Amino acid sequence: MKLSTKGRYGLRVMYFLAVEPDSVNTLSELSKKTGVNAPYMEKILGILKRKKLVKTVRGANGGYTVARDPKEITIGEILRSLEGNLYLADCNSGICTKSCPTKRIFEYIYREINDLLDKKSLYEMVLGESNNEESISR
């Protein structure tokens, strides 16, 4: 159970976009800032665009911006859009019928993790450096 690079790189690029929400970053700028090769970064940005987390400006002088107020975008939303659903359970096997305890525990964990991730906004992450320090590094 590990986040893939898509999730990590995706969150990283969202950070750089959120830092300057009013300026347009080109793919090559974002590739440089994040340290991720351009074609792969482009793929990730494509996903983020389809999920309406980034906006694009096409043509010359175009590029990418964050689609919405970073205060309204949660870490959970970003990760789910790139990692697929964080759904852990998957009760196959006739074993787990109506009241399967394994299934219920997975559903519980699933909800808790998502709640947790949705409590943290992209904006808080940007602020992290300064005022959130103490709540983050315990």
Partner DNA sequence: ATAAACCAGACTAAAAAGGTAGGGATTGTA
Partner DNA sequence: TACAATCCCTACCTTTTTAGTCTGGTTTAT
Q: In the set 22, 35, 60, 95, which binds DNA (CB under 7 A)?
A: 60
Stretch that binds DNA, among 15-23, 31-39, 67-75, 97-105 (CB under 7 A): 31-39
Contact region with a second copy (CB under 8 A), list: 20-28, 42-50, 60-68, 75-83: 75-83
CA distance 7 to 13: 10
Nearer to a second copy, 61 or 131 (CB): 131
- Region at 9 (left for phi over 0; alpha for psi -120 to 50; beta for the rest): alpha
* Contact residue for a second copy among 2, 22, 60, 134 (CB under 8 A): 2
123 binds a second copy per the rule CB under 8 A: no
CB atoms within 10 A of CB 74: 20
Q: Tell the smallest beta-carbon distance from residue 72 to DNA (Å).
A: 21
Which tokens go with 71? 């205060």
Q: Could you give the 3-state DSSP secondary structure of residue 77?
A: helix
Among 40-48, 57-65, 66-74, 104-112, the segment contacting a second copy (CB under 8 A): 104-112
**CA-to-CA dists, residue 121 to 19, 68, 76, 81, 126, angstroms:** 13, 12, 8, 15, 9
Check residue 102 for interaction with DNA (CB under 7 A): no
